[in-house]
Structure 1
Amino acid sequence: MATICQIWRPDRGRCFKTYGIVLVLFMDLVLQCVNGYMSSHIGQELPYARDAQRGSVITSPEVSAPASASPADKKSNTSTCPSGGLCSRLPAECINCSYHHNCTYGKPASFTCRPNKGVHCIGESGQQQTNFSLSIVCQFCWQLDPSQYKCKDSTNCMTVSCPRKRYNTTCDVLGHVHCIGNRRFNKRLFCNWTGGYKWSTALALSITLGGFGADRFYLGQWREGLGKLFSFGGLGIWTLIDVLLIGVGYVGPADGSLYI
């Protein structure tokens, strides 16, 4: 900045004023990103999180339980439902439980279950059982930790935006995890996919060769790259701004993916 202002010595005041305006606009952009990100999190607060702090009782009648499904709808598969093992170790798709919703959220609860037709299991005593008790944590399937279910990823949404965008997807609970309600549910998740671009590489190119648009070319933004190339990085102003924007992660790959 000092070098450019020394070159434009007669208009030094105007030069400093221009840089001041650019700095104010950049700070305003960063504040908007932070406010948008925080508001998106606060607005998405789920009621069960507040209920968990109070230790409330789950009594929602709107969530259908697997007990409502008939045994014929849950056909056993010998490859996934081995016979002869402990009943409590069977996957969730191999048993039919009578879940009730009057348990305290986050606390262990006991439910009566039976293996599906064609599946044989034994209890702790070694005797075959047709009914057994299963103890699980009282929570609906959509309240599980993200590590306990798998969702379909989307590569059609932008990850670099303010606030960060979300997408609707379908999630399935892992086979060994037991929970109350439907094992397949809808979820609204943040865009979280990558195209293989490295943040460190983009930042290094922006600092060293940013005046020639190398950083923009690397990120797949060839129009902006040509603009920087033929304007010598906007006489240094564009180069400085890109270093800051790439450094904070606001400017990302053109395909909308995350850095790695």
Structure 2
Amino acid sequence: MATSCQTWRPDRGRCFKTYRITVVLFMDLVFLCVNGYLSSHVGQEPPYTRDAQHRPVITSPEVPAAASDEDSYTSKCPSGSLCSRLPADCIYCNYHHNCTYKKPASFTCQTKKGVHCLGESGQQQTNFSLPITCQFCWQLEPSKYRCSNSTNCMTVSCPRKRYNATCEVLDHVHCLGKRRFQKRLFCNWTGGYKWSTALALSITLGGFGADRFYLGQWREGLGKLFSFGGLGIWTLIDVLLIGVGYVGPADGSLYI
């Protein structure tokens, strides 16, 4: 029987070991090159940033200050008038709420900067006492404040409709609390229609729908026109309804 013999060559393992050392050295060289590149570029400030630190700083021109609050109220504050007659925007008052409702009360007030007034003796004063009636601004009479008027609500309706109005107290009126407040008011505005004109048209030309046409109610006017005033019955009813004010303008406003 033939015997196979393998000859051991000691240089085989030596060549494989040399190959691994070469690969490791090459990878180490590549890693050193990459690390050096990153350290020299990453984290370095851009050239325009370094140059900007040495360049002069350009600032925007100064903008003049806005008009002070003093100019806004001194224009409507009369100089040399009685302190008790100054508008509310011209003074500071130390209002307290422990007074009796609807009873006279006196509060300590001070004029704002740039406002000059005279006391009862005729001498110029800065601090003075202001006598007013103890009540909040929203409790004043309607003649002492102005409110916004809504033209989107129906004035001729049952029950009467209300709207949210923004009211502001007149300048010469003094009161407690906020001078601007909200209030629920009845719809009260007019579109220029006269009650006397509508009634006259209803009596004379109501059979032809002239009263309804005048009030802006075109459908009812055409109905009366082509039905000859509902054979007189509709005409008579409209005279009564317009006379008592139940039928009004189509836009929901009040008569003049």
User: What TM-score, normalized to structure 1?
Assistant: 0.69
Post-superposition shift, 1:212? 1.1
Corresponding residue for residue 215 of structure 1: 211
* Residue of 68, 77, 93 corresponding to 2:89: 93
Which one scores higher on RCO, CA 8 angstroms, separation ≥ 6? 1
What residue identity is the alignment partner of 1:225? G
Task: Give runs of aligned pairs for residues 122-137 of structure 1, distance below 5 A.
Answer: 122-137=118-133
Corresponding residue for residue 78 of structure 1: 74
Corresponding residue for residue 28 of structure 1: none
Alpha carbons of 1:123 and 1:173: their partners in 2 closer, same or farther (altered >3 Å)?
same
How far apart are the structure 2 equivalents of 1:74 and 1:98?
A: 20
Report if aligned partners of 1:76, 1:116 keep a CA contact under 8 Å in 2: no
Corresponding residue for residue 165 of structure 2: 169
Corresponding residue for residue 238 of structure 1: 234
Counterpart secondary structure, 2:81: coil
Identity %: 86
How far apart are the structure 1 equivalents of 2:230 and 2:72?
A: 67
Report if aligned partners of 1:75, 1:116 keep a CA contact under 8 Å in 2: no
What residue identity is the alignment partner of 1:171? C
Q: Does 1:200 align with 2:201?
A: no
Task: Give runs of aligned pairs for residues 23-62 of structure 1, distance below 5 A.
Answer: none
Post-superposition shift, 1:77? 1.9
Corresponding residue for residue 259 of structure 1: 255
How far apart are the structure 2 equivalents of 1:242 and 1:250?
A: 9
Moved >3 Å (runs of 4+) = 72-76
Post-superposition shift, 1:84? 3.0
Report if aligned partners of 1:139, 1:179 keep a CA contact under 8 Å in 2: yes
* Residue of 80, 104, 109 corresponding to 1:113: 109
Post-superposition shift, 1:237? 1.9
Report if aligned partners of 1:159, 1:193 keep a CA contact under 8 Å in 2: yes
Alpha carbons of 1:258 and 1:150: their partners in 2 closer, same or farther (altered >3 Å)?
same
- Root-mean-square deviation (CA, aligned residues, Å) is 1.7
Q: Name structure 1 gaps, 5 residues minimum.
A: 1-71
Q: Does 1:141 align with 2:146?
A: no
